[in-house]
Amino acid sequence: MSSQHTSSLHNNAFDIDAIRSQFPFINHDSPVVYLDSAATTQKPQCVIDAINQYYSQQNANVHRGSHSLTAHATQQFEQARSRVQFFIGANSHKEIIWTRGATEAINLIAQTYARSTLQVGDEILVGEMEHHANIVPWQIVAQQTGAKVIKVPMTQECQWDMNAFHALLNKKTRIVATAHITNVTATRQPIEAIIGLAHQYGAMVVIDGAQGIVHETVDVQKLDCDFYVFSGHKLYAPAGIGVLYGKQSLLDAMPPWHGGGKMVEKVSFEHTSFADLPGKFEAGTPNVAGALGLATAIEWLTGFDVNHIEAHIHQLSHQLVKGLAAIEGVTIIGLQPQASVVSFTITLEGENIHHQDIATLLDQQNIAVRSGHHCAHPFMDALGIDGTIRVSIGVYNNEKDIKALLVALTKAIELL
C-alpha cells in the first residue's frame, strides 16, 4: 500500500485533488474528461498495485497444492472474502460467493435457486426499469420451468410503483427482482418496502446492487434481502470479479451450477459429493487477482466518509442539472435530486437529436459519456424514446469536468 494511500485512509477530510492524484488515468495529464463511471469506474493506483503485486510476486492457485505460495494466496483470497462479508454486513463468509460480476450472479440465482424451485404458473415480478441483466435470466428460467415474468410498472416520476406492486403480489409470487439504484436515472428504489411486502407473500427478493453499492452503506442483514449482487468494476475494482450474497439457508439448499474442480468433496463415476459453501458455487480456478483488487478497492473507499463522497457527488450533480437546464432543448429524464447519474435528451426546433450524434460530438471534444438504451430497452419503451445521453459522476470528478461538459455540449448543439 502506498504512503499516499495510507495517508488518505487516515484522513477523512475530502480532498478532491488528492483523490484525483491517486488515479493514473486522470493524474497522467489525460485530455479525456471521464463521465461514464456508471458503465465502469477508473481504478486507483492501490488497486492496480494489488493486482500487479499478486502476479509479479505471489502468483499461485488457491485451495490447491501444499507449497507456501499457494498457502499465502489462499489466505489472502479468503481474507478478501471476509472483507466483502464485513463490507455488506453478511452473517458469514460462507454467504459470499465470487462471480464474474452482477450479471453472472443473477444468472446463478436463476439457474440454481429459481430453476430448482419454480413450478408451472409461478410468478417472478421484475421492475420495468431494470437492466437487461435483471430481466433476461428470469425470462430464460421462466421458459425452462413454466413460470411467468410479470412486469412491475414505474410511475411517471420513474419510480417503482408500489401500488401496482401491491396489486400484483399474490400466492403465486415466488421471486421479486429489483435494482437498488437504477442505471439510467440513478433512481433509488424503495427496496426496504419492497422486501418487507414481498416477504409477507413468502416471495424471495433479489437486489441488483451494481449501482447502489457504490453510493450507500449496505447492510444485508438489516435489509433482510434474500440475495444481493454487485460487480467490482463499478466499485473502483477490476473487471471480471463480482459478488453474490445469499442467505446461508438458501445457498445450502441450492444445487451447484458449474461443475469442476474445487466445488467437489469426492468424485467417482458412480457418485459425486459437493463441497460446502462457498466452494460449492466456485468451480475452477477463480479470479484471485480480481478478489484481491476488490478487497483493496473496498479498503480504499471505506477509508473516506461516505457522507463526504456523496456530498461531493451531489454538488457536482447540482452543477450539472443547473447547467443543463440553461441549455435550450435539453430534457432531463426522471430527474432525481442529487443523483450520480443524469440522463437527458435533446430536441431542437421540434426535432429529436439522436443521442449518438451528441455523444460523438462530445467525444471529439474529449468528453466521455454514454449514449443509447443503457441495456434497459423496457425502460426506454416506457418513456417512448430510443435512448438518452447519460452522464455519470465518479468520486474523482470535479467542477472543471462538469464545466467542460457543459461547454462542449453547447458547442455540439450549435454544430447541429
Catalytic residues: 375
- What are the cell numbers at 177? 427482482
Is the C-alpha dihedral spanning 292, 293, 295, 296 positive or negative?
positive
- Return phi, psi of residue 296, to 5°: -65, -40
Contact 50, 292 (CB under 8 A): yes
Which uninterrupted H or E stretch holds 88? helix 68-88
Strand-pairing partners, residue 125, are 150, 176
Please return the burial class of 57, using the count of CB atoms within 10 Å of its CB with bins 0-12, 13-18 and 19+: exposed
Cα 170 from Cα 119, distance rounded (Å): 15
Q: Which of 165, 172, 102, 116 is nearest to 144 (CA)?
A: 116
- Cell of residue 30, nine digits: 489525460
193 in Cβ contact with 162 (< 8 Å): yes
Give kind and range of the element (H or E) at residue 208: strand 204-208
Q: Is the separation of the CB atoms in 64 and 282 below 8 Å?
A: no
Distance CA 366, CA 115 (A): 46
Beta strands in 259-329 (DSSP E): 264-267, 272-274
